[in-house]
Amino acid sequence: MSTQTIKIATRKSPLALWQANYVKSQLLSYHPNLSVELVPIITQGDVLLDSPLSKIGGKGLFVKQLEIAMLNHEADIAVHSIKDIPAQFPQGLTLSTICPRDDVRDAFVSNQYQSLDELPVDAIVGTSSLRRQCQLKAHYPHLIIKDLRGNVGSRLEKLDNNQYDAIILAAAGLRRLGLAERIKQYISVSLIMPAVGQGAVGIETRQDDVRLHQLLAPLDDANTRCCVIAERAMNNYLQGGCQVPIACYSELTQQTLSLKGLVGSVDGQQIIQAHVSGEIQQAQALGITLAQQLIDLGADKILQQL
Ligand SMILES: NCc1[nH]cc(CCC(=O)O)c1CC(=O)O
């Protein structure tokens, strides 16, 4: 085996570092003689942390600098929360590996209240996600939604500083950071449907890096891959960026993939939902069928308004 070091490009946030270290330790557990190191990189998204993400150009901001490093051979791997990556990759790069999914649900975090149902009129809930905002408004029109950005730790700090009565975060991120005890309620997917790819970690590589693809093969999880392919196909067909409240939930039982999708207006006044199921081999086609059903039900009108 070559002694060449495999370099993992990663953002410097604790969650990104956890995910990069996870991939490193997985690689080493399958290939103990490998040399793997992290290459921490500050991205535009990290620099502009206080502007609402939807206003400053979207998810690509967190990814671009990692990709440049890979194309320049300063790194070989970029590890991402699949939720954060755009539909398309630059020429020469590919999403080669999809790791087993953690909890897909959103989590309710508060120091005073045990659940969304307990929140009083005019309680202030922190989230900058249009998807969360839309569904919160639909179910709990009496709540006030306030922007909340920054990494997981600083969001919790803002909650602890009493800037919010409660905040919503992905359960997966909290669990990875050892902060699961902060979770007061795992929010049912029927109340707040998760984001496309939520809870799954993906590995981006250069398309022609055959040796690396072989090394990464054991880290890939077929079931998660199937779900993520379907969810991303739906999102891609809807042209969904982070400007739009789009949600998706997929479930695998035996050979059947069940896929639910949601498109809504930010104020929660309009919510369109659809559901498809079929064979797991048809994951991509199912995602597109679901997107088309949402469009037939009027999703395109909502999307055009944004
Ligand atoms: N948008 C930031 C982001 N990207 C991925 C996660 C959590 C981990 C995951 O969903 O895989 C988070 C934090 C959050 O939404 O609370």
Mean pLDDT of 283-288: 98
Taking the CA of residue 305 as centre, how many other CA atoms within 13 Å lie in the half-sphere pointing to its CB? 11
Mean pLDDT of 9-16: 94
Instruction: Tell me if 127 CB under 6 Å of ligand 1.
Output: no
Q: How far is the CA of 5 from the centre of ligand 1 (A)?
A: 29
Ligand 1 close to Cβ of residue 132 (< 6 A): no
The pLDDT of residue 58: 56
Confidence of residue 292 (pLDDT cuts 50, 70, 90): very high
Q: Tell me, what's the pLDDT at 276?
A: 98
Whether residue 173 has its Cβ less than 6 Å from ligand 1: yes
- Residue nearest ligand 1's atom 8 by CA: 173
Lowest mean pLDDT among 52-56, 102-106, 197-201: 52-56
**Domains in the chain, CATH or no CATH each:** 6-98+200-220 (3.40.190.10), 106-186 (3.40.190.10), 231-305 (3.30.160.40)
pLDDT tens sequence across 168-194? 999 999 999 999 999 999 999 999 999
Classify burial at 221, counting beta carbons within 10 Å of its beta carbon; exposed 0-12, middle 13-18, buried 19 or more. middle
Report CA(177)–ligand 1 centroid distance (Å). Answer: 11
Q: Which of 22, 61, 63, 83 to mutate to test the pocket of ligand 1 (most atoms within 8 A of CB)?
A: 83
Query: CB of 172 closer than 6 A to ligand 1?
Result: yes
- Residues serving a catalytic function are 84
Q: What is the pLDDT of residue 1?
A: 47
Pocket test for ligand 1, best of 22, 152, 232, 249 (most atoms within 8 A of CB): 152
Position 241 scores a pLDDT of 62
Atom of ligand 1 nearest to the CA of 81: 11
Report the pLDDT averaged over residues 205-220: 97
Does ligand 1 come within 6 angstroms of the Cβ of 199? yes
Residue 45 Cβ inside 6 Å of ligand 1? The answer reads: no
CA of 199 to the centre of ligand 1 (A): 7
Question: Is the CB of 83 within 6 Å of ligand 1?
Answer: yes
Q: pLDDT by residue (tens digit) across 114-162? A: 999 999 999 999 999 999 999 999 999 999 999 999 999 999 999 999 9
pLDDT value for 51? 52
CA distance 203 to 87: 14
The pLDDT assigned to 44 comes to 66
Tens digits of residue pLDDT in 52-97: 554 444 556 778 889 999 999 999 999 999 998 888 899 999 999 9
Q: What is the pLDDT of residues 224-244, one digit of tens each?
A: 999 999 999 999 999 866 567
169 lines ligand 1 (CB under 6 A): yes
pLDDT tens-digit series, residues 32-56: 999 999 999 987 666 665 555 544 4
250 lines ligand 1 (CB under 6 A): no
What's the angle, vertex CA 40, arms to CA 37 and CA 43, rounded to 5?
A: 150
Which amino acid residue places its CA nearest to atom 15 of ligand 1? Answer: 170
Cα 174 to ligand 1 centroid, rounded to whole Å: 9
Q: Using the mean position of ligand 1's atoms as its centre, give its distance from the Cα of residue 296 in Å.
A: 30
